[in-house]
Chain A
Amino acid sequence: MSGHLLLLCAALFAATRVPPEAPQTPTDHVRAGQQYQQQGRLQEAEEEYRKAVDLDPADADLASLYAHVLLGQLCSARGDYACAIPQLQRALRRDPTLAKAHYYLGITFTLDGQKDKAVPELAEAARLEPESAAFHYYLGLALLDVARDAEAADALQRAVTLDPTDVAARTNLAWALINIGRNREATSVLDSVLRLDPRDPSAWFLRGEARRRLGDTDAAIADFEKSVAIDDRAEDALFSLGTIYYLRQDFDRASDYFARLLTLDADHVGAHYGMAKILLKRGRAADAVTHLVTCVTKDPRNKGAHYQLAQAYRRLGEADKAEKELQVFRSLGGDVADVDAGAVERLRKRPGGGGATDR
């Protein structure tokens, strides 16, 4: 778990100067645990919190209640979510108004992949402490994780209002706004991000994306290129540039960007796919097949690659192979399960990494 959470934890309890020796009560053990925690001796801190809990199986003492919260936080920090979740839930059964317990629990659910469960916990934390920018921020991230982008935008807007200097909140707000089709607003938010941090490649990428969706592809290209100039490993920007130039039928430039992407990541399916489409346009079906086979090997459910492979085989006169690919394509069915996919193009990857560990 990040230092950010440790600091929040420390803020929950005032620092104590009680020596660790000879504690007798849950309170003593909690104080000792906190001291260890402050010293970075997390295993010993966890042991002290367990002792506090063990001394008070009925959770009668307020200290043992806190011990559950702190234990949950430390378990979560070391990735033991099976340990963390019951501790935090137990504390909340005793006192449902513990905002930070909801907060830790929500983050733990996120880290454990239980994204749907994270949202109500973080929403409750934000409700209990509406002035906490962090709570709204993480609620926003959790909502983004479950594709509830409109609500995410509201939460992140609140986080930005509470902490106008928070670049990550603004960037994620822009991401949410793009996903819900409010690209003009997203552009404005990203303008502010770039004023705060003009060297943020993800902000340049996102503004490019918003502008692309607004139909201003020239401006989008400029932003994507800026992102790449700052970070020559900015894969999303390189991919977008390749795609835009492909759609403009500027196959030389598109090819350059996809090739750059492949030097960074030889397994980049999107780049292989883009290269294949260009090669097909140039009448080089055999070369396209090589890239497309790579695509379907790495991503067997890639409908586009199977479809293009069928076209490539047909051009090579290999009708049987073409039909086989079309059969695979048909077997992959429609996208009914992903009901929004046809209507809304959602950005693939949220800026700033995933989950709760980016702060």
Chain B
Amino acid sequence: MGVLARSLLIAALTFALCEAPPIGTSANGDITFADVTAHAGLQTHIVYGGTSGNTYILETTGTGVAFLDYDNDGWQDIFLVNGTTLDGFPRGQEPSNHLFRNKHDGTFEDVTVRAGLAQSGWGQGVAVADYDNDGFDDLFVTSWGQNRLYRNKGDGTFEDVTARAGLTSGRRWSTSAAFADYDNDGFVDLYVAEYIDFDPQTAPLPGAKVPGVNCSYRGFPVMCGPRGLKGERDHLYHNSGKGTFTDVTVQAGNLDKDSSRGLGVVWGDINNDGYPDLVVANDAQPNLLYVNQRNGTFRETGLEAGVAVDEDGRERAGMGIDFSDYDNDGWLDLAVANFYGEPHSLYSNQKNGSFLETTWASGIGRATMHHLGWGTRFVDYDNDGWKDLLLVNGHVYPEVDRHQLDETYAEPTVLLRNNGNGTFADVTALVGSSLAGPRAGRGMAAGDYDNDGDLDFLIATVNGPPCLLENRGGNASHWLTVRLIGRRSNRDGIGARVTTIADGVSRMEEVRSGGSYLSQSDLRAHLGLGAASSIAAVEIRWPSGQVDRLTGVPVDRIIVVREGEGSFTFAPGPGNGSRATERR
């Protein structure tokens, strides 16, 4: 063989190696995410704090988003939380939250005013659940200010029932909230993370020299905090089942007694005992893991369980958070988004109440060190049966763009594909340019808004438009989406566990309110099935303890399951048009 031929051969081999897909990538290489925000009619602007710099930390946290089906038509609608600025707006021109109704054709119509949801202020997060079990999903919206509980009246409108429900709080800085039925009495309860005891009249200004308070970043003055700023105590509210809530923060185990700076909340049954446990991501303070004692109280075990701090004992700046079973072993694992220069954290459930940090072993550490993370969600975007991880990023200091730093205010959103062997590969560059951005991202929700069998993403930005990303090609592999309707359990089946058995593999998803960051994802359980063309069984473990086992469930359908009936119906989606029909 001549030298030239040999060189060409080596070059060809080298090229082939460079072009090799990441481990595990097979038939799913054609998936892209298209930015359909404008086409969908989500032409609004999220206002939040300063654009070139921030005076207070209040201006940094941004807002959340939600997928919900408020009109029970089987299609995910969209709710966007809006904020404001320190200067405020003339009366009548304040930015408000938005509700967009899904028109079933890829577009949405703004029904905010008609729905009675035109609230303004320093909005933060949103959680969705049918708190009164009347069959219509309600909204809980947090803010720096008075949080609001909006009861869905079932006629396309909502009423503010905050006071009637006993949720009048005065001015607090509430961030993420999440519903779950912690005592399994059939009504969802509510956990609200509180961030900082913030008062602009006394808060230090950028660059201030206040002992113990961080007011500079890399040598230039920035808004002060979070380090050194006093946190605010989280709240757990018990749902009486009669339309009211009672603050049980102390009775339930003296929760958050140190008033830590909470930003992310997620419920999940970490020990498979049928009772939801809770993790709170705290900013520059240890994360908290509350293990449900099954008697109305919780025990905080974050440090012992290995999720409070990193392996070197350092508190990370926890923001977004999510539970899912990324290794398909039947136990919930945990992901937490952190600050720039810290890796986002991944914790593998050790099935004994503790977690093993797998941040670096999984490859997530290397992929996320240079991102400041918020929205966090396990999503099987390619329906291969392994939960991937979507991370929405964005810096807190707009000023970084003026100081020739290596970091920027707008950051890329990152999609990490689960290789199925405990590791993840960064596939952001492989799914089109729309997903990456960059953007000053904050809240994020996942949901199948077009009912085509793959998960789409909705992202909130700071001082920018929302971003709706349509998954194109994710439904090439098989899938199943399950909408639960509780009878003895809470109506949405929040906390229920849906397990599919297909091709001999069990895959599990838990229905969860909240999670990610300030946001609410599709309450339907979505499970990728990979190449499995049939499902041997679907098992639903309800919060009530009821276990329903379904057979004959086809793949690639959206089904509705009512607790205790042992049957299912089809919901709008592929193979079923836009109308629900009874299957059997």
Which A residues fall within an 8 A CB radius of B?
148-151, 179-185, 213-215, 217, 247-249, 277, 303-304, 306-308, 311, 314, 326, 329-330, 334-337, 339-340, 342-345
| 0/1 string, B360-390, CB within 8 A of A gives 1 | 1100011001100000000000000000000
Across the interface, which residues of B come within 8 angstroms of A304, CB to CB? Answer: 311-314
Query: Would you call A181 and B406 a contact (CB within 8 A)?
Result: yes
| 0/1 string, B212-233, CB within 8 A of A gives 1 | 1110111110000001100000
Across the interface, which residues of A come within 8 angstroms of B284, CB to CB? Answer: 334, 342
Across the interface, which residues of B come within 8 angstroms of A342, CB to CB? Answer: 227, 284, 314-317, 339, 342
Which B residues fall within an 8 A CB radius of A?
212-214, 216-220, 227-228, 284-285, 303-304, 306, 309, 311-317, 339-342, 360-361, 365-366, 369-370, 400, 403-407
A342's nearest neighbour on chain B, judged by CB, is B284
Question: A334 to chain B: closest CB distance in Å?
Answer: 6
Query: Would you call B309 and A307 a contact (CB within 8 A)?
Result: yes
Q: Which of B212, B228, B309, B406 contacts A213 (CB 8 A)?
A: B406
The answer to whether residues A181 and B405 also contact, given A308-B313, A334-B315, A340-B216 and a CB cut-off of 8 A, is yes
Question: A271 to chain B: closest CB distance in Å?
Answer: 15
Query: Would you call B219 and A150 a contact (CB within 8 A)?
Result: yes
Question: A153 to chain B: closest CB distance in Å?
Answer: 8
Across the interface, which residues of A come within 8 angstroms of B213, CB to CB? Answer: 339
Query: Would you call B212 and A336 a contact (CB within 8 A)?
Result: yes
Across the interface, which residues of A come within 8 angstroms of B220, CB to CB? Answer: 150
Across the interface, which residues of A come within 8 angstroms of B400, CB to CB? Answer: 181
A338's nearest neighbour on chain B, judged by CB, is B227
Q: Which of B216, B219, B311, B361 contacts A249 (CB 8 A)?
A: B361
Query: Would you call B218 and A150 a contact (CB within 8 A)?
Result: yes
How distant is the Cα of A29 from the Cα of B313 in the complex, in angstroms?
A: 62
Query: Would you call B366 and A214 a contact (CB within 8 A)?
Result: no
Query: Would you call B313 and A307 a contact (CB within 8 A)?
Result: yes
Q: Which of B212, B304, B314 contacts A326 (CB 8 A)?
A: B304
How distant is the Cα of A277 from the Cα of B311 in the complex, in angstroms?
A: 9
How distant is the Cα of A335 from the Cα of B407 in the complex, in angstroms?
A: 24
Across the interface, which residues of A come within 8 angstroms of B218, CB to CB? Answer: 149-150, 179-181, 344
Across the interface, which residues of B come within 8 angstroms of A182, CB to CB? Answer: 403-406
A339's nearest neighbour on chain B, judged by CB, is B214
Question: A185 to chain B: closest CB distance in Å?
Answer: 7
How distant is the Cα of A8 from the Cα of B285 in the complex, in angstroms?
A: 51
Question: A322 to chain B: closest CB distance in Å?
Answer: 8
Query: Would you call A247 and B366 a contact (CB within 8 A)?
Result: yes
How distant is the Cα of A308 from the Cα of B370 in the complex, in angstroms?
A: 26
Across the interface, which residues of A come within 8 angstroms of B214, CB to CB? Answer: 339-340, 343
Question: A277 to chain B: closest CB distance in Å?
Answer: 7
Query: Would you call B313 and A344 a contact (CB within 8 A)?
Result: no
Question: A189 to chain B: closest CB distance in Å?
Answer: 13
How distant is the Cα of A314 from the Cα of B341 in the complex, in angstroms?
A: 30
Q: Which of B212, B339, B406 contacts A214 (CB 8 A)?
A: B406
Across the interface, which residues of B come within 8 angstroms of A217, CB to CB? Answer: 366
How distant is the Cα of A193 from the Cα of B501 in the complex, in angstroms?
A: 62
The answer to whether residues A343 and B341 also contact, given A247-B360, A326-B304 and a CB cut-off of 8 A, is yes
B216's nearest neighbour on chain A, judged by CB, is A340
Query: Would you call B313 and A306 a contact (CB within 8 A)?
Result: yes
The answer to whether residues A180 and B360 also contact, given A149-B219, A217-B366 and a CB cut-off of 8 A, is no
How distant is the Cα of A136 from the Cα of B62 in the complex, in angstroms?
A: 42
Across the interface, which residues of B come within 8 angstroms of A314, CB to CB? Answer: 304
The winner among B219, B220, B317 for most chain A CB atoms within 10 A is B219
State the 4 A-B residue pairs at the shortest beta-carbon distance, nearest first.
A150-B219, A307-B313, A339-B214, A304-B312
The winner among B218, B284, B317, B341 for most chain A CB atoms within 10 A is B218
Across the interface, which residues of B come within 8 angstroms of A150, CB to CB? Answer: 218-220, 403
Q: Can you give 6 contacting A-B residue pairs, CB < 8 Å?
A: A150-B219, A181-B400, A277-B311, A337-B212, A339-B227, A343-B317
How distant is the Cα of A342 from the Cα of B315 in the complex, in angstroms?
A: 8
Q: Which of A181, A214, A249, A344 contacts B360 (CB 8 A)?
A: A249
Question: A89 to chain B: closest CB distance in Å?
Answer: 25
Query: Would you call A308 and B369 a contact (CB within 8 A)?
Result: no
Query: Would you call B313 and A329 a contact (CB within 8 A)?
Result: yes
Query: Would you call A308 and B311 a contact (CB within 8 A)?
Result: yes
How distant is the Cα of A340 from the Cα of B339 in the complex, in angstroms?
A: 12
Across the interface, which residues of B come within 8 angstroms of A308, CB to CB? Answer: 311-313
A183's nearest neighbour on chain B, judged by CB, is B406
Query: Would you call A247 and B227 a contact (CB within 8 A)?
Result: no
How distant is the Cα of A41 from the Cα of B525 in the complex, in angstroms?
A: 87
Across the interface, which residues of B come within 8 angstroms of A213, CB to CB? Answer: 406
How distant is the Cα of A247 from the Cα of B367 in the complex, in angstroms?
A: 12
A248's nearest neighbour on chain B, judged by CB, is B360
How distant is the Cα of A342 from the Cα of B314 in the complex, in angstroms?
A: 8
How distant is the Cα of A215 from the Cα of B366 in the complex, in angstroms?
A: 8
How distant is the Cα of A337 from the Cα of B214 in the complex, in angstroms?
A: 9
B229's nearest neighbour on chain A, judged by CB, is A336
The answer to whether residues A151 and B219 also contact, given A181-B405, A181-B407, A334-B285 and a CB cut-off of 8 A, is yes
Knowing that A149-B219, A334-B227 touch, tell me 9 more A-B residue pairs with CB under 8 angstroms: A150-B218, A150-B219, A307-B309, A308-B311, A340-B217, A342-B315, A343-B217, A343-B341, A344-B341
Query: Would you call A303 and B313 a contact (CB within 8 A)?
Result: yes
Question: B77 to chain A: closest CB distance in Å?
Answer: 38
Query: Would you call B212 and A303 a contact (CB within 8 A)?
Result: no
Question: A211 to chain B: closest CB distance in Å?
Answer: 11
